[in-house]
Structure 1
């Protein structure tokens, strides 16, 4: 009888968005500066652990929020975390609400997205020297890992944090906010929340075979409301940041040990097969 292989070691990548990029979430911290075939990531990788689970933290916009959304090197970020041995990515992202019942301060565990970006590299398989061979036509019907999402949802329930178990993120190019006409259109399309960073991060993580899940932290109502004075601004967003970040840290610190307790071998293998079966190679390489 063939011996059963040991479960793959779990390492959690954390991409901290606006308000949740503080390395204090990790114990035994050390910095590691890396490069990738796609350039440098947004900042140094912060290696450490949460509850004894190995983690790697990366500030999406750089520490100090110095990188605007369009200029984030999403491919380098995901590649660096994958190369560091991460099996999972759990990320936070500030967002505006497109629904009356998603209040500022609510957490949304995303399950879908609508891509309104226009200037970003969205695949590792771009045909350039140093990139993997072929073209990857990756299915995106289930962008976020449902198994990791369930753990985040269960943790929100346990911690009694107001949350929504699903949500469609509209990702715009930025760095400007939406016009009121755009905001109303996104509501008609079925968008629940809006940000500037979920795409292409979620697609690249899936292409890398990682289990990716996102906690979207609502800060405002965007600008779709017709009430005078109800529009998104940096000032309004910053007022909600601190409370959201504290909730996000609590969620991540509770979820990470629960993720590590599971055997993810079958899920990670399924991810690998999905990617490999989606790659079309040139005839001479097939």
Structure 2
């Protein structure tokens, strides 16, 4: 038996019994119950920066998510796996970085036992890592690239190449807008909050700095943002459970479940 710790996306409500919610429910519902259990720890899954409206800040949310995720692994009598979507990918990445560095251990001091990580739309996806090699070599997560993870862990990064959260070019103007919050929080704020006008205004300012030199980067960012803001099932960040994965005849979420069922 493998206990899968799920880490949900921004604003997805946690089920009170810890069963997977949101995007990850579409993976978990297809997993073989004779092989896997699934549990979503209690953490905010919010990005601020207006705590009353949007919940705690990204930094606070991730810190609480990491603590809850590590405790869930420590409490499990079995080998664990991680399954994340969007914001949850930052939490999964931090857990694995801490496991690699020895910061996070079992209560007896032994290493955490984590067999695999399956990320969907990871904001910290490393360049060159995507299932099916769908993403080009110059794109990576909008929140930056993850650090080192434990050797030997099975890594599955499900990344839509048109999803700016997990596949933005290194020179995307979305990375360099001068605000007090991270690019990931800024873009998420356009989807769930009131930051859309500000974001488009800042992109226009970027274009006007040097219209000829910046036009292509501006156009790519605007296309990506429009695709991101499109609702399910067609939006580039939410289509994983609504459209088939390129090169396959199944949904992205189904592909992830099929892989786990076949390999564990």
Q: Structure 1 length normalisation: TM-score?
A: 0.39
Bigger helix fraction = 2
Q: Higher relative CO (CA 8 A, sep ≥ 6), structure 1 or 2?
A: 1
Bigger strand fraction = 1
Q: Structure 2 length normalisation: TM-score?
A: 0.42
